[in-house]
Structure 1
Amino acid sequence: MTLEADRAVGALRFVAVHQSDLLAQPLLDELAVEYSSRYGGDPAVRSADLKGYPAEEFSPPGGALIIGLIDGLPVAGGAFRRYDSTTAELKRIWTASGYRQRGYGKLVVAALERIAADAGYTRIYLTTGWSQPEAVALYRASGYTALYDPALPAREVGPHPFEKYLDQTDDQPAITLR
């Protein structure tokens, strides 16, 4: 399909899923390949690492794992888990390689922020890797503050930490999931 056809077919709709849900598999599989290509290592080992997190960390009430669907096809997703009593930690933000540069990542982050705020969190924390400039750009564009010196070479920084305080006075409606 062309870009225009993809946009015309349907809008991104979020569903909450369990880590073992088949809708989450493309997210985990493509992340494993992506991380291996950027940082080295076997994709199977990376996949096992991703699936090694206890699934309950990404389940309510302390967390969530969401998948963005277009006409039933998983094209984006992400998760958060409890970091501390007031802070959620974003993890696994992903957009399928064939659907990038369309703003879906920003929609995933915004949806996770809304769900985290509804769960009572007032702050979001995250880290991204030194070899992921697209992720750094996404978080900056989404209003996150870098907790490192951006003037340093990315490799020297290592994992890039960010934070954002959530606006508790926002009148936007809660995200409704499947």
Structure 2
Amino acid sequence: MPYGVSTIRRAHWIAQDDPLAAPLLAELALEYSNRYGRTPGEVHSDLRGYPAAHFAPPEGGLLVVTQDGEPVAGGAFQQFDPTTAELKRIWTAREHRRQGLGRFVLERLETEIADRGYRRIYLTTGPRQPEAVGLYLAAGYTALYDSALPAEEIGPHPFEKFLDLGAWEATA
């Protein structure tokens, strides 16, 4: 961004059918299609196949970040079990990557998840998403797979993070 140009970044908690979610789902469909070989329509259908209630309070949430009014990043969570939230659909618009938006989204999701009473976060990311793996490792997530294996052999890469030290010590 050029020096002296300011942007206004806002986080919005929305429903899955909110117009702000459309760019998130559309670009995720294209991204996953390019990386995994299915058509964008098939991927978009899968993304929309999750019941909207999974990403709605009180068990879940869908966050879209806007910058100067345009959706630029987002993510969601749903209940995995009574003490665990599962992250889904972490996204940054292609033209806005490498600006810290993924971390911004992740931090807001983690705060909301903790506020809802969850103590653990679980997620999986695909074997062809090294940027996501890097983000989760940098944010303190523990890989639940053997990182010495080739990514394609692992398949979906599971991660977890405990939100408070007491929960971590109780399971260690």
Counterpart in the other structure of 2:2: 4
Correspondent of 2:117 among 115, 120, 129: 120
Give the TM-score, by structure 2 length. 0.93
Correspondent of 1:42 among 39, 43, 53: 39
Greater RCO structure (CA 8 Å; 6+ sep): 1
> What is the alpha-carbon distance in structure 1 between the residues aligned to residue 105 and residue 165 of structure 2?
19
Give the TM-score, by structure 1 length. 0.90
Correspondent of 1:33 among 17, 30, 33: 30
3-state DSSP of counterpart to 2:135: helix
> What is the alpha-carbon distance in structure 1 between the residues aligned to residue 164 and residue 57 of structure 2?
21
3-state DSSP of counterpart to 2:28: helix
In the alignment, structure 1 residue 99 sits paired with structure 2 residue 96: yes
Counterpart in the other structure of 1:57: 54
Give the Å deviation of 1:4: 2.6
In the alignment, structure 1 residue 14 sits paired with structure 2 residue 11: yes
Give the Å deviation of 1:128: 0.1
Q: Does the 8 Å contact 1:146/1:161 carry over to 2?
A: yes
CA RMSD of aligned residues (A): 1.4
> What is the alpha-carbon distance in structure 1 between the residues aligned to residue 108 and residue 83 of structure 2?
18
Gaps (5+ residues) in structure 2?
A: 167-172
- How many residue pairs get aligned? The number is 166
Give the Å deviation of 1:10: 1.7
Gaps (5+ residues) in structure 1?
A: 170-178
Q: Does the 8 Å contact 1:117/1:168 carry over to 2?
A: no
3-state DSSP of counterpart to 1:8: coil
Give the Å deviation of 1:168: 7.6
3-state DSSP of counterpart to 1:35: helix
3-state DSSP of counterpart to 2:25: helix
Percent identity, please. Answer: 58
> What is the alpha-carbon distance in structure 1 between the residues aligned to residue 29 and residue 165 of structure 2?
35
Moved over 3 A (4+): none
